[in-house]
Amino acid sequence: MKPDILLMERMMPRIEKALNDAYTVHYLPDVPALPAIAPRIRAVVTGGGTGVPPDIMSALPQLGLIAINGIGTDAVDLNVARQRNIHVTTTPGVLTDDVADMAIALLLAVSRGIVKGDRYVRDGKWPQGASIPLGHRVTGRVMGIVGMGHVGRAIARRAEAFGMRVAYNDVREMTDVGFTFHAGLEDLARSSEILVVAAAGGAGSRGIVNAKVLEALGPEGTLINVARGSIVDEDALVTALQQGRIGAAGLDVFAHEPDVPPALLGMDNVVLQPHRASATVETRLAMGEMVLKNVAAFYAGEKLLSPVV
C-alpha cells in the first residue's frame, strides 16, 4: 500500500505525477475531513510561503517530515518540529538565480516604466502621440541590499554588472564580500537609491523595513521586495507611497498573500507580482526533484538530501 502524504500547495504536473505514482496524495483543500486521514499522514509537502499552519501540524500525530518546496522556513514552527522530532527539508541553491533575476526584473520594470509602456502600446496611445513619462536609469545608482545571503549576493552580482554600487545590511558584517556594510537599516536606506529586501522571513525580521527606514530611503527611492511581505511594515509602505515619501516599489511578496492592499492596485509607480520569483519551469522542476528525493529518503529511512531540522 502506498504511504499517504498531505500536499498543501499545487506543484508542477510532472512533480505531482511522480508524487501520485509513489504515494496516495491528499491535496489539503480537497480533503473533506482531515481527522479521518490524519493518523496515516507521516509527510507533508508544502510551499515556503504556505508552510504548515500550527493547527494542521498539531492535527497530524504521526508527522515525521515537512518537505518545503522552497527555501523559506518562516511558515513552519521549527521549535515545534524539533520538539516532535519532525524533519524539515528545503530546496536550497536551485532557486537563487531566479529570485535574483526577479529583483532585477522588478527594478527595471519600475525604473524604466515597462508595465506603463506595455499598456501605452496596447491601448493604442502611441499612434495618438499621447505623452508617456521618461524612466530613470539604473546605471550608477546605489543599491542597498537587506540580507547578504545567497540571494542577496546573487542580486549584488547582477547589480554590479549593471554598473550599480552596492551596500548591504545583515546581522553582521561579512568578511568575504567587498560591499559597504551598514549596521543600521536606516543608515543603509539613507545611503541607497534602491533598497532590495532579500533577507529571511520570520520573527527576527518582522517589520524591520518600517516607516523610518522608508522615510530614510526618501522620495526618489525605490523599494524592491523578493523575500517575504512580513519583513516590510505594509501599512507604512502604503502610506509612504501615498504620501510620496518613497518614489516607487516593485513587490513580489505581501504580508497576507494572496491579498494585496487595495491601495497598491491603483498606483502606477508600483509593479506587482504574485510571489513568482522562483516560478520558472527549470527552477520549479529542480525544486520539485529535491522535494521528491527528500520524501523518498524519509520513507526509505535514508539520509535526507537537504534537512534544516
Residues of this chain that bind ligand 8YV (CB under 6 A)? 9, 47-49, 69-72, 95, 275, 278
For residues 158 and 92, what is the distance between their CA atoms, to the nearest angstrom? 20
CA within 13 Å, CB half, 123: 12
Report in angstroms how near the CB of residue 151 gets to ligand 8YV at its nearest: 9
For β-strands 194-197 and 222-225, DSSP reports them as parallel
Report in angstroms how near the CB of residue 70 gets to ligand 8YV at its nearest: 2
- Taking the least distance from each CB to ligand 8YV, the nearer of 99 and 240 is 99
Please provide residue 108's backbone torsions phi and psi, each rounded to the nearest 5 degrees.
Answer: -70, -40
Q: Which of 26, 87, 275, 284 is catalytic?
A: 275
Please provide residue 111's backbone torsions phi and psi, each rounded to the nearest 5 degrees.
Answer: -70, -40
Burial degree of 21 (CB within 10 A; 0-12, 13-18, 19+): exposed
Report in angstroms how near the CB of residue 50 gets to ligand 8YV at its nearest: 6
Q: Which of 158, 228, 245, 284 is catalytic?
A: 228
Per-position b or e across 91-120, b if 16+ CB within 10 A of its CB: beebbbbbbbbbbbbbbbbbbebeebbeeb
122 belongs to the catalytic site: no
The CA–CA distances, whole Å, from 6 to 33, 79, 285, 289, 299 equal 12, 21, 19, 17, 14
150 belongs to the catalytic site: no
Distance separating the N- and C-terminal Cα atoms of the chain: 28
Report in angstroms how near the CB of residue 273 gets to ligand 8YV at its nearest: 11
Report in angstroms how near the CB of residue 238 gets to ligand 8YV at its nearest: 22
Is the separation of the CB atoms in 162 and 104 below 8 Å? yes
Is the separation of the CB atoms in 209 and 146 below 8 Å? yes
275 belongs to the catalytic site: yes
- Taking the least distance from each CB to ligand 8YV, the nearer of 12 and 296 is 12
Instruction: Write out the catalytic residue numbers.
Output: 228, 257, 275
